[in-house]
Amino acid sequence: MTATDPDALADRVQDGDLRIHELEDHADPDTAAEARRTFVERETDTELDATADYAFAAEQAESTVENMIGAAQIPMGVVGPVSVSGGAADGEHYLPLATTEGALLASVNRGLSVIRDADGADARVTKNGMTRAPVFRVDGVAEAAETIEWVDDNVDALREAAESTTSHGELLAVDTYVVGDSVYLRFAYDTKDAMGMNMVTIATGEACELVEAETPASLVALSGNLCSDKKPAAINAVEGRGRSVTADVVIPGELVEERLHTTAEAIAEANTRKNLTGSAKAGSLGFNAHAANVVAAAFLATGQDEAQVVEAANAITTMEAREATASPRSDERRSREREHEDGTTDLYAAVSLASLEVGTVGGGTKLPTQAEALDVLGLRGGGDPAGSNADALAEIIAVGALAGELSLLAALSSRHLASAHEDLGR
């Protein structure tokens, strides 16, 4: 066996001659992964044949994982078409979703079918800003005030320092907060088509050096948790992080009755009592039925940072019964409205995701399967103009989440949830 033979390398790890993370220093990435897998098989008395069966070069995963032994395969399906009129997305798109939750895609597809028959949903990114919030130490409130005054007067200088580290990111704002002898600066950036966490961390680090040089403040941590990344946080619900996006649709009353087997009033009541009142009683930061389900499945399929589903689930679902009104959407819609002048009410449905952190370049979007999923959406790589692909992805995911909310609330209000799972056998 040669020095780069996987078994020989595994022997060296077992003998303590090599550490498990040092294998790439002695072999190519695929050989290192095989050696590491062999070591784990020996240590745990397992067989990792399925884990070893991956369809990309290990080198492609070097920026996304350490100590690679293979790949986890998650079933991926597709829903749609997603019919959306957005600020960036337009027309019909098929949305790949990766999940192990049975009945999820069937439910989302039902909601999307109803949305299409209602002439599609509108969606807009209403705010954009990826944040990083360092925390500084000062001696007291006087130094805190001095630091904040300098920051407020020198945003342009901070912008120049931050943007010197990136050819794409733009510093949008710096918000200041004081807690005793701690000063927090919440930097917000337009990261274009990248989700941008690495970009804004590096840029903020450069800006922090300027703050330390010009004020009494000393940097304690580049992230002071006021960002707030991968944690439930009210600041993200209020101020947003990444993309703030809303999708909405008006569904004619007869469609609600014929396709969802309930009424606009029943769905609206279920939403109020479950998603609003129930969530408030529980102290929840998410006022929705299961928006995280669609977001997580879309994140896994398209190579997003799956931990940021925490923020994306920070969403509010709105449902309202409305009297039918004239609509400019289509002659077919106006015809349907005339048909139910007997008092049937329409359903207004919306979902607002305050902090949907997505990108179409960088990170896991470069992996082959995830890149193909973005190809299915027509959103792989950078958009023209820059940022438009990530905006479109956010809008499509929002419509998918809206379809999931609509379908689940209809199932609950018609008491069909359990029977649907039984019918699908899962």
Per-residue confidence (pLDDT) for residue 51, from 0 to 100: 96
Spans of all domains in the chain: 26-73, 76-128+243-424, 134-221
What's the confidence (pLDDT) of residue 80?
94
Residue 330 has pLDDT above 90, yes or no: no
Q: How confident is the model at residue 152 (pLDDT cuts 50, 70, 90)?
A: very high
Confidence of residue 4 (pLDDT cuts 50, 70, 90): confident
Task: Give the CA dihedral 191, 193, 195, 197, nearest 10 degrees.
Answer: -40
Helix (H, G, I), strand (E, B) or coil at 83: strand
List strand residue ranges (DSSP E) for 57-181, in order. Answer: 76-86, 90-98, 121-132, 135-137, 170-179
Q: Which of 66-70, 98-102, 114-118, 421-425 has the lowest mean pLDDT?
A: 421-425
| Catalytic, out of 305, 306, 320, 372 | 305
Work out the number of other CB atoms within 10 angstroms of the CB of residue 304.
Answer: 26
**31 in Cβ contact with 6 (< 8 Å):** yes
Which one of the listed residues 26, 340, 416, 421 is annotated catalytic?
421
Q: What pLDDT shows up at residue 172?
A: 98
CB 40 within 8 A of CB 87: no
Task: Please check the confidence at residue 336 and state whether its pLDDT lies above 70.
Answer: no
Structure tokens at 349: 């449905």
Per-position b or e across 383-422, b if 16+ CB within 10 A of its CB: beebbbbbbbbbbbbbbbbbbbbbbbbbbbbbeebeebee
Render pLDDT for 43-98 as a digit per residue (tens, 0 to 9): 999 999 999 999 899 999 988 999 999 999 999 999 999 999 999 999 999 999 99
Instruction: Return the pLDDT at 418.
Output: 43
CATH for 76-128+243-424 (3.90.770.10, 3.30.110.30, 2.60.40.1180, 3.40.1390.10):
3.90.770.10
DSSP 8-class letter at 420: H
Contacts of 168 (CB under 8 A, 6+ apart): 191, 192, 194, 199, 386
φ, ψ at 313 (rounded to 5°): -75, -5
Predicted confidence band at 108 (pLDDT cuts at 50, 70, 90)?
very high
Q: Do residues 197 and 130 touch, judged by C-beta distance below 8 A? A: yes
Is 421 an annotated catalytic residue? yes
Rounded CA separation 77/420 (Å) = 19
d(CA 55, CA 329): 45
**Digit-coded pLDDT (tens) for 162-200:** 999 999 899 999 999 999 999 999 999 999 999 999 999
Answer yes or no: is pLDDT of 420 > 60: no
Span 278-305, mean pLDDT?
97
Distance (Å, whole) CA 81 – CA 240: 28
- How far is 396 from 375, CA to CA, in rounded Å? 14
CA distance 130 to 197: 7
- Catalytic residue, from 28, 41, 101, 265: name it: 101
Position 329 pLDDT exceeds 70: no
Same CATH fold assignment for domains 76-128+243-424 and 134-221: no
Q: Pick from 203, 40, 44: which is nearest to 132 by CA?
A: 203
Residue 212's CB: how many other CB atoms inside 10 A? 14
**Mean pLDDT throughout 90-117?**
97
pTM of this prediction? Answer: 0.92
What angle separates helix 388-413 from helix 253-260, to the nearest 10 degrees?
70
Q: Indicate the pLDDT class of residue 417, thresholds 50, 70 and 90.
A: low
Share of the chain above pLDDT 90, in %: 89
Q: pLDDT tens digits for 363-412? A: 999 999 999 999 999 999 999 999 999 999 999 999 999 999 999 999 99
The closest of 406, 311, 300 to 350, measured between CA atoms, is 406
CA–CA separation, 86 and 79 (whole Å): 18
305 is catalytic: yes
Tens of pLDDT, residues 237-289 = 999 999 999 999 999 999 999 999 999 999 999 999 999 999 999 999 999 99
pLDDT at 8 over 90: yes
Residue of 133, 16, 115, 75 lying closest to 333 (CA atoms): 115
pLDDT score, position 416: 60
What's the pLDDT score for residue 2?
52
Between CA 271 and CA 349 the distance in angstroms is 10
Are 245 and 394 spatial neighbours (Cβ–Cβ below 8 Å)?
A: yes
Q: Which fold has domain 134-221?
A: Alpha-Beta Plaits (3.30.70)
For residue 29, say if its preceding peptide bond is cis, omega within 30 degrees of 0.
Answer: no
Q: What is the Cα–Cα distance from 321 to 307, expressed in whole angstroms?
A: 35
Phi, psi of 263 (to 5 degrees): -125, 160
